[in-house]
């Protein structure tokens, strides 16, 4: 089969050549003696000219309408100087058509692919929405990114190995999607939240460098950067250390940005989880926002275990804002648990309570302490200082972290043309969930940091929340791009972690018995990461909505407006599957 020629690829080297191209009518103009048609495909647009001397083609052209699908044959000629359109890649040439085949007609489209449409309509008619140049370019770039990643990893001796989609339920931190088994009635498969156990088993098998562009499924609340089914770049490696592995991932990410955007990323900064929460109130800070959280707890009589935090805003960022409008942030932060936010304006060495709200009183502070607060915030005359109690949320972002993020966006403090890659390391091994239970910060296969079998019991008795894990997240401009860790390769430690998490022995044997047994057979030290392909493409294509980078995404309520999934299943099918109890 000959290489296909796309409309947008035709240039001056094709002049005087006869070619055949396929595409859709983007627009047409019938000037009587000449008919001009803009023909488009995924690579661009070319101008086709129909002349009366080619009578059959000309007569068919009079019937053309937008979005008709056609095949044309003609000769490429250079346009006259006055008719050249240098804004188009094909603007210096045109095709004189002497044969046309109408492949299919088109009704008027229910969406305007050259205009703004509601997202509901875009998702309902996604196959038409994807004809937009912007959407086509995103999917093309996604394909290029995946191709580059594959080449990079395979050059470094990683094997592309597939893992099962129908599997058993594992503890990955979210709810599973379940699939009923017809043969084994009343039993279910779980769709994988990640290939975690399988990739560790591949390390035990001696396949020491694995990767997969893996489909994953999580039944969780959705947002602009999250989907129920998503794609991750899954990488696992034996016989290496965290520092070396992170350097390897850095090299891949650096080269992706260089190849895709021609941008050289700055040095990857490293923050511990504790540092990130201290200064930014989140474990995925956007370092383009230079605002930091300042701990003022020592200046006040603490009534509880929460920190008292300030955020300072320079007056120059407020010059076009009315000070009285700042009251909206008091109401904004209440939904995240801070009910005592006060807003002060610096008046030389004094703090003026703008709204006279005295939830956090400074009246008992002497002149020196107030001056110290001003100095600690590096504030000058007329600057604004927000002071409030910090409430830490289970999802590793605090109330003052939310305020920092909101202020950065509202006051245009984000350096939009900058890139700040960042590693967050030394996460706690455990955390509390919504109802206060002990759960893994990442997943239960994450290795504790600097441990031995003998000292694990002592660490656990002191305070399990103080145990650090050998884990890391890759964050770029406020988005968590990837998460990984060293894995537990010791049977006793893995068993101990399951016991700590109160996974009873029956469940351990049923769900993880095969894995625990595998750990007894010379398991090598191994380490890995899962990079979110969808979020990576979001950043590289300058969109902030994950649905823009997925061909057929779900809504925030996990519905597919195109296929109407999920839907009710036929009663007889349910009965045949042995699921009459549903």
Instruction: List residues bridging with 270 in a β-sheet.
Output: 423
Give the DSSP per-residue string, 264-314. Answer: -PPPPEEEEHHHHHHHHSBSS--TTS----EE-GGGS--SSSSPEEEEEE-
Q: How confident is the model at residue 53 (pLDDT cuts 50, 70, 90)?
A: very high
Q: How confident is the model at residue 582 (pLDDT cuts 50, 70, 90)?
A: very low
Question: What share of the chain in percent tops pLDDT 90?
Answer: 74
Does the pLDDT at position 22 exceed 90? yes
Domains of the chain: 7-104 (2.40.50.140), 135-268+419-550 (3.30.930.10), 289-410 (3.30.1360.30)
Does the pLDDT at position 35 exceed 90? yes
**What's the pLDDT at 173?**
66
Q: What phi, psi does 250 have (nearest 5°)?
A: -55, -45
Does the pLDDT at position 575 exceed 90? no
- Each residue's pLDDT tens digit, 321-336: 788 889 999 999 999 9
Give the DSSP per-residue string, 31-88. Answer: -SS-EEEEEEETTEEEEEEE-TTSHHHHHHHTT--TT-EEEEEEEEEEPPGGG--TTS
**What's the pLDDT at 49?**
97
Does the pLDDT at position 579 exceed 70? no
**What's the pLDDT at 511?**
87
Instruction: Taking residues 246-267, report their average pLDDT.
Output: 97
**What's the pLDDT at 437?**
84
**What's the pLDDT at 435?**
81
**What's the pLDDT at 451?**
73
Q: Would you say the pTM of this structure is higher than 0.75?
A: yes
**What's the pLDDT at 324?**
84
- Who has greater pLDDT, 567 or 578? 567
Does the pLDDT at position 308 exceed 50? yes
Of 183-187, 230-234, 357-361, 390-394, give the lowest mean pLDDT range: 357-361
Q: How confident is the model at residue 345 (pLDDT cuts 50, 70, 90)?
A: very high
- Would you say 391 and 306 are in contact if contact means Cβ atoms under 8 Å apart? yes
List the one residue out of 524, 522, 521, 505 whose CA is nearest residue 513.
Answer: 505
CA dist 227 and 531 (Å) reads 15
DSSP three-state, residue 119? helix
- Each residue's pLDDT tens digit, 455-508: 777 776 677 888 899 999 999 999 999 999 999 999 999 998 998 888 889 989
Query: Residue 438 region, left (φ>0) first, then alpha (ψ -120 to 50), else beta?
Result: beta
CA dist 528 and 247 (Å) reads 12
Distances (CA, A) of 94 to 43, 63, 99, 101, 173: 16, 20, 15, 18, 57
Does the pLDDT at position 261 exceed 80? yes
**What's the pLDDT at 6?**
96
Distances (CA, A) of 378 to 291, 292, 312, 314, 475: 12, 11, 8, 9, 27
Does the pLDDT at position 374 exceed 60? yes
**What's the pLDDT at 301?**
73
**What's the pLDDT at 576?**
61
**What's the pLDDT at 25?**
97
Instruction: List residues bridging with 41 in a β-sheet.
Output: 44
**What's the pLDDT at 115?**
79
Across the chain, what does the average pLDDT equal? 92
- Each residue's pLDDT tens digit, 131-143: 999 999 999 999 9
- Each residue's pLDDT tens digit, 514-558: 999 999 999 999 999 999 999 999 999 999 899 999 999 999 889
- Each residue's pLDDT tens digit, 238-253: 999 999 999 999 999 9
Highest-confidence range of 343-352, 418-427, 494-503, by mean pLDDT? 418-427
- Would you say 45 and 95 are in contact if contact means Cβ atoms under 8 Å apart? no
**What's the pLDDT at 571?**
59
Instruction: Taking residues 63-82, report their average pLDDT.
Output: 96
Question: What share of the chain in percent tops pLDDT 70?
Answer: 95
HEC assignment per residue over 461-493: HHCHHHCEECEEEEEECCEEEEEEEEECCCHHH
Does the pLDDT at position 222 exceed 90? no
Does the pLDDT at position 50 exceed 70? yes
**What's the pLDDT at 580?**
45
The number of C-alpha atoms within 13 Å of 580 and in the hemisphere containing its C-beta is 4
- Who has greater pLDDT, 312 or 577? 312
Helix 242-261, helix 533-540: angle, nearest 10 = 40
């Amino acid at each position: 089969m000959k290489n296909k020629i796309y409309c947008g690829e035709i240039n001056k080297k094709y002049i005087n050549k006869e070619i055949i191209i396929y595409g859709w009518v983007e627009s047409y103009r019938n000037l009587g003696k000449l008919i001009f048609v803009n023909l488009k495909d995924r690579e661009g647009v070319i101008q086709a000219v129909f002349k009366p001397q080619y009578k059959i083609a000309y007569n068919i052209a009079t019937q053309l309408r937008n979005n008709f699908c056609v095949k044309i044959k003609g000769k490429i000629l250079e346009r006259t100087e006055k008719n050249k359109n240098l804004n188009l890649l094909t603007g210096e040439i045109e095709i004189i058509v002497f044969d046309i085949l109408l492949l299919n007609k088109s009704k008027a489209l229910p969406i305007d692919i050259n205009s703004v449409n509601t997202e509901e309509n875009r998702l309902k008619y996604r196959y038409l929405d994807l004809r937009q140049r912007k959407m086509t370019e995103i999917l093309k770039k996604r394909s290029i990114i995946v191709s580059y990643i594959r080449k990079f990893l395979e050059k470094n001796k990683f094997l592309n190995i597939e893992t099962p989609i129908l599997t058993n339920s594992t503890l990955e931190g979210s709810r599973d999607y379940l699939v009923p088994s017809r043969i084994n009635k009343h039993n279910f498969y779980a769709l994988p939240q990640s290939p975690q156990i399988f990739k560790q088993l591949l390390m035990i098998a001696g396949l020491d460098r694995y990767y997969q562009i893996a489909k994953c499924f999580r039944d969780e609340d959705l947002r602009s950067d999250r989907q129920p089914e998503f794609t991750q770049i899954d990488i696992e490696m034996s016989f290496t250390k965290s520092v070396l592995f992170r350097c390897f991932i850095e090299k891949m990410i650096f080269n992706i940005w260089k190849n895709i955007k021609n941008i050289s990323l700055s040095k990857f900064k490293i923050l511990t989880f504790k540092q990130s929460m201290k200064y930014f109130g989140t474990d995925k800070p956007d370092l383009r926002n230079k605002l930091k959280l300042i701990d003022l707890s020592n200046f006040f009589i603490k009534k509880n275990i929460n920190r008292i935090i300030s955020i300072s805003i320079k007056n120059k960022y407020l010059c076009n804002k009315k000070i009285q409008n700042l009251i909206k942030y008091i109401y904004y932060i209440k939904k995240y648990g801070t009910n005592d936010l006060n807003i002060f304006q610096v008046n030389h060495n004094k703090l003026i309570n703008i709204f006279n709200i005295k939830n956090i009183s400074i009246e008992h502070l002497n002149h020196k302490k107030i001056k110290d607060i001003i100095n600690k915030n590096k504030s000058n005359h007329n600057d604004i200082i927000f002071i409030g109690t910090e409430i830490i949320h289970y999802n590793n972002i605090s109330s003052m972290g939310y305020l920092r993020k909101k202020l950065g966006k509202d006051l245009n403090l984000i350096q939009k043309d900058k890139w700040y890659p960042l590693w967050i390391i030394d996460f706690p091994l455990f955390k509390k969930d919504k109802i206060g239970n002990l759960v893994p910060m990442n997943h239960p296969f994450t290795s504790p940091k600097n441990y031995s079998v003998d000292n694990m019991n002592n660490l656990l008795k002191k305070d399990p929340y103080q145990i650090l894990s050998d884990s890391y997240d890759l964050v770029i401009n406020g988005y968590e791009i990837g998460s990984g860790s060293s894995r537990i390769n010791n049977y006793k430690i893995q068993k101990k972690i399951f016991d700590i998490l109160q996974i009873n022995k029956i469940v351990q044997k049923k769900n993880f018995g095969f894995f625990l047994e595998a750990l007894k057979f010379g398991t090598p030290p191994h380490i890995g990461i899962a990079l979110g392909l969808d979020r990576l493409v979001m950043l590289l294509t300058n969109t902030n909505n994950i649905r823009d980078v997925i061909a057929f995404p779900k809504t925030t309520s996990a519905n597919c407006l195109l296929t109407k999934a999920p839907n009710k299943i036929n009663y007889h099918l349910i009965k045949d599957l042995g699921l009459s109890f549903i």
